[in-house]
Amino acid sequence: MTAIKHALQRDIFTPNDERLLSIVNVCKAGKKKKNCFLCATVTTERPVQVKMVKVKKSDKGDFYKRQIAWALRDLAVVDAKDAIKENPEFDLHFEKIYKWVASSTAEKNAFISCIWKLNQRYLRKKIDFVNVSSQLLEESVPSGENQSVTGGDEEVVDVYQELNAREEQDIEIMMEGCECAISNAEAFAERLSRELQVLDGANIQSIMASEKQVNILMKLLDEALKEVDQIELKLSSYEEMLQSVKEQMDQISESNHLIHLSNTNNVKLLSEIEFLVNHMDLAKGHIKALQEGDLASSRGIEACTNAADALLQCMNVALRPGHDMLLAVKQQQQRFSDLREHFARRLASHLNNVFVQQGHDQSSTLAQHSVELALPNHHPFHRDLLRYAKLMEWLKSTDYGKYEGLTKNYMDYLSRLYEREIKDFFEVAKIKMTGTTKESKKFGLHGSSGKLTGSTSSLNKLSVQSSGNRRSQSSSLLDMGNMSASDLDVADRTKFDKIFEQVLSELEPLCLAEQDFISKFFKLQQHQSMPGTMTEAEDIDGGTLSRQHNAGAPLPVSSEKDMIRQMMIKIFRCIEPELNNLIALGDKIDSFNSLYMLVKMSHHVWTAQNVDPASFLSTTLGNVLVTVKRNFDKCISNQIRQMEEVKISKKSKVGILPFVAEFEEFAGLAESIFKNAERRGDLDKAYTKLIRGVFVNVEKVANESQKTPRDVVMMENFHHIFATLSRLKISCLEAEKKEAKQKYTDHLQSYVIYSLGQPLEKLNHFFEGVEARVAQGIREEEVSYQLAFNKQELRKVIKEYPGKEVKKGLDNLYKKVDKHLCEEENLLQVVWHSMQDEFIRQYKHFEGLIARCYPGSGVTMEFTIQDILDYCSSIAQSH
């Protein structure tokens, strides 16, 4: 490596006036090993430039060439990869990162040590060394006397010293005088040693020869010593003089220190006083506003708000250690406390008066709303009170007791006011539902409270009347000549629906506005409900109908959201009972009103839950929705019970059963009401219960029917059900629609077959006997040999049914069928056409039996298929 180093110095760096300080044999990491050398160099001329040069062996020969050079000042980081384990890899961070692998760890460490030295001396430690052993860097620090890393002898980093021109010339002259200087170095060295000894002896002799000069020199030294003694005496006197000066200077320095200390303390004291004055001084205008400010005017409220904020800042200032022990600070804090207490009392008293005045002012507006279905608007009152919102926030943070007192007083005054308004509002709604005040008394209403106070018997009577009216109206729906009762019923229900929707539409903005006002005025945050919170309305489908809270029971206040809800419950405690009373009235008027109420209430609950699932409005409407859902379920149960209690007349034909017509009315009404409703699932469940009840009770009535055949009752009613379901297209009843059609078809077929057995009774019995013999194993062509079924007996039976008799029998059958069927369903022609087809099928069946069992007998029926078609057509036209 030394030979390579000298060769590189001679061939590459000496021509460029550079000195080579360190070298390392490397190759690039992760690639094919193409070795090169990294060289650390400095220039010989000032200013010194430090460089790192990459040298590579030429491909054409054995000489080296300079490939790339970097200035050392551009080197940012040297990363040795591992400071503990031996690792030949290292990175140099210039404008990009160069990754190298040294031929040995020792070469890498020597090269990094040289870079560190150059960094210390020339670059003022600008390069970062990462993962480099601290021991390696410590070893690089020079330890000689007064050796400096940043200056001094260049031998700290010099390794090779080149001879100058004069030294080279002297050596050449010396070697020319000795012929063996090159061939025999030892002889040359021995000669040089002898000549050096000769020179030393000559020097000693020269010194001994100059003794006289030595004596003169000694005399001069003695005189110099005397001069030194005199100088020492003067220096001593000077030292004594300086000592006194030093003492005086020490005194002056101590005095200056005390002055500086005093100035420092004064500055600190001034800073503390300025801090207290700036942060604990309340302006006279603020004090006057807190003591005498007008809380009724907007300007006075603004002045009081600013003063209260300033007072709060003064009271909440973070005092430094020791401030609280100052008498002035204690007095100022006491003054602030007195001001706060005085202003808090004044503010609470004023707001209480505002609450009371609002109750009186709002009561005066109730008269104009008593005749129209509208709630008074509280926006002006809220607007006036919101001017005090910042003062309420101040009161909440400074005197929570008075804040709570104001909250309680607000709830007391406003709950009484809202109770009067809401009860009058519901009284108007009930009167509008029932028509007039007299009619409302008939339904059990009287007084301003709007409560249901009618006797139980009158309500029960009303319920019976409403159900009776509904049955009579259902029957009238089938009578095209009388539609007044049905039209009146629909108009009443539409009127109820509009009134109920208006009630909810008035209550919803009232509650939302009050809740928003409470949140802003009392500075309570409205948070979203926690995941998993479920109100009653959400849990109806699951069957859990337990109420979430009692309107009069206090709630534990665990957050500001709970406090808002608690205040809303106290203020609007009458809403839920009044809504329940209104719902009860609507249900007594017409149980079908529960459909309207379920749809409207579900929509409003859904809307309220989208805004805030845990709000008072959402919870209250959810609770009321439970009542509506119960009434709806009760309506369905009552209809099923009425189905089970239906009694039919034994003297008249059955026709379309009342509960079948009522189901048609209910389904038509429900589909129009639930067209775009959110709670379609409730109706689908009710449909399933009702249709099952209809199916079961139609079959029950058919089994009990004496006047009308069972098949006719089943056929007509299931045909009516199928027609209703086909017209309404109720998706959840598709299976029931198919079942109704199947039952209608089966019982139509059964009725036709049963009825056709009567016109040709003897002929039917004869061929039934023939089929029985064949079934017993007798061959068809041998049946004619049976005594009871020979050709003579066949001809005798056929002669009993000539064409005239057949037509007469069919005519009687038509009349009988006409008596069995009802006019509403209009199935006579359908049944008659089915009978015609069945009769022709039987005719063909009889002819087939004659051809197989009596071959060649020439026996035929006395009428043809065309005769049958003519008979049926003429009979139908004649009637």
Query: Residue 794 belongs to what H/E stretch?
Result: helix 791-799
Distance from first CA to last CA of the chain, Å, rounded? 135
List, edge to edge, every strand of the sheet that includes 89-93: 64-71, 50-57, 36-43, 18-28, 97-102, 89-93, 77-79, 128-130
pLDDT tens, residue by residue, 678-705 = 678 888 888 888 888 888 888 888 888 7
Query: For residue 3, what are its two tokens?
Result: 């030979």
Query: For residue 498, what are its two tokens?
Result: 């509009």
- Contact partners, residue 736, CB within 8 Å, separation at least 6: 691, 695, 721, 725
pLDDT of residue 158: 44
pLDDT of residue 140: 58
Helix (H, G, I), strand (E, B) or coil at 452: strand
Query: For residue 293, what are its two tokens?
Result: 């400010």
Q: Crossing angle, helix 791-799 and helix 761-775, to 10 degrees?
A: 160
Query: For residue 499, what are its two tokens?
Result: 């009134």
C-alpha dihedral sign at 424, 429, 435, 441: negative
- With b meaning 16 or more CB within 10 Å and e meaning fewer, what string describes 763-783? bbebbeebeebbeeebebeeb
Query: CB-based burial of residue 791 (10 Å sphere; 0-12 exposed, 13-18 middle, 19+ buried)?
Result: middle
Phi-psi category of 76—alpha, beta or left, where left has phi over 0 and alpha has psi -120 to 50?
Answer: alpha
CB 382 within 8 A of CB 513: yes
- Contact partners, residue 474, CB within 8 Å, separation at least 6: 658, 661, 662, 664, 665
C-alpha dihedral sign at 63, 66, 67, 70: positive
Query: CB-based burial of residue 136 (10 Å sphere; 0-12 exposed, 13-18 middle, 19+ buried)?
Result: middle
CA dist., res. 102 & res. 107, Å (int): 7
CA dist., res. 592 & res. 509, Å (int): 28
- Contact partners, residue 683, CB within 8 Å, separation at least 6: 595, 670, 674, 677
Per DSSP bridges, beta strands 77-79 and 64-71 are: unpaired
CA dist., res. 791 & res. 497, Å (int): 77
pLDDT of residue 370: 52
pLDDT of residue 319: 81
Query: For residue 278, what are its two tokens?
Result: 């700036």
Query: Which segments of the chain have a pLDDT < 70?
Result: 31-32, 61, 125, 138-163, 179-183, 208, 359-371, 436-489, 526-558, 678, 757-759, 879
Helix (H, G, I), strand (E, B) or coil at 362: helix
Q: Please report, as a single letter, which amino acid is at residue 698.
A: V
Query: For residue 482, what are its two tokens?
Result: 């009388």
pLDDT of residue 259: 92
**DSSP tag of 181:** T
CB 698 within 8 A of CB 713: yes
CB 853 within 8 A of CB 781: yes
pLDDT of residue 488: 54
pLDDT of residue 684: 86
Tell me which residue of 322, 323, 321 sits closest to 280, measured CA to CA: 323
Please state, as a whole number, how many other Cβ atoms lie within 10 Å of the Cβ of residue 240: 10
- With b meaning 16 or more CB within 10 Å and e meaning fewer, what string describes 732-753? ebeebbebbbebbeebbeebbe
pLDDT of residue 277: 79
